[in-house]
Amino acid sequence: MKSRVDSKSRSSRRPAAPEKHPSSVGAFARTAGRIGSAALVAAGLALGGAPALAQDGGTPTGDAATGTQPAAQNRLGLELNNAVDDAGLCRLSYVAVNGTGQPLEKVSYDVVVFDTNGQVSQFLVLQFGQLPAGKTKVVQFDLADQPCAGISRILVNDVAECETAQGSAAICMDALEPTSRTAITFDT
């Protein structure tokens, strides 16, 4: 499913185009490196853990095709799953898993794209839309005139929009757990 980053045109048939964000960036501290998925699997097996089985008859939980795990309790998992060049743009695929226990009506993040020299390249607003509780959703965003190899890091700078049925909420940043399966660092 392709999602638009521009809230005025949300067609799922056209590639998503980034919405430029006018804010400025201060100094950012890099967070510790990512733990690879193979290391996580090895750590789980070392602790005696086999894949968890659902209570409905022995079906493994998570998604074997993507390797995603079930949503951790009270976490909003946001994984940069893939980054592919396509006709002069970089197509980013995200896997969002709402493990907060709350349905989220609207979710958008202000992100900053860094080039391979560590310099700020773009400000964007990525709109994920509605994320029901316990649901996994895949969303794609296209960055025009931006080869994927030219991106070193995508930083979640802030929450642009986080709405529940009760109104605005802080859970979208408080529960956020960004990860990446690509060469691009994705963090807060």
* 7 is a domain residue: yes
Across the chain, which distance is largest between two alpha carbons, in Å? 52
Q: Give the model's pLDDT for residue 178.
A: 98
Q: Give the model's pLDDT for residue 81.
A: 99
Domain that holds residue 165: 1-23+68-188
* 80 is a domain residue: yes
**Cβ-Cβ contacts under 8 Å for 14 (sequence gap 6 or more):** 2, 4
**Strand ranges for the chain from DSSP E:** 19-20, 75-86, 89-99, 104-115, 120-131, 136-144, 151-164, 167-168, 176-180, 185-187
* 55 is a domain residue: no
* 85 is a domain residue: yes
What's the average model confidence in pLDDT over 70-94?
90
pLDDT tens sequence across 121-160: 999 999 999 999 999 999 999 999 899 999 999 999 999 9
* 132 is a domain residue: yes
For residue 179, give the CATH number of its domain: 2.60.40
Q: Give the model's pLDDT for residue 68.
A: 46
* 158 is a domain residue: yes
The model's confidence at residue 72, banded by pLDDT at 50, 70 and 90, is low
Write down the residue that tokens 């020299």 correspond to: 117
Q: Tokens for 29?
A: 């501290």
* 151 is a domain residue: yes
* Element (DSSP H or E) covering residue 107: strand 104-115
* 183 is a domain residue: yes
The structural domain count of the chain equals 1
Shortest CA distance to 162 belongs to which of 95, 93, 78? 78
Q: CA-to-CA distance for 160 and 109, rounded, in angstroms?
A: 5
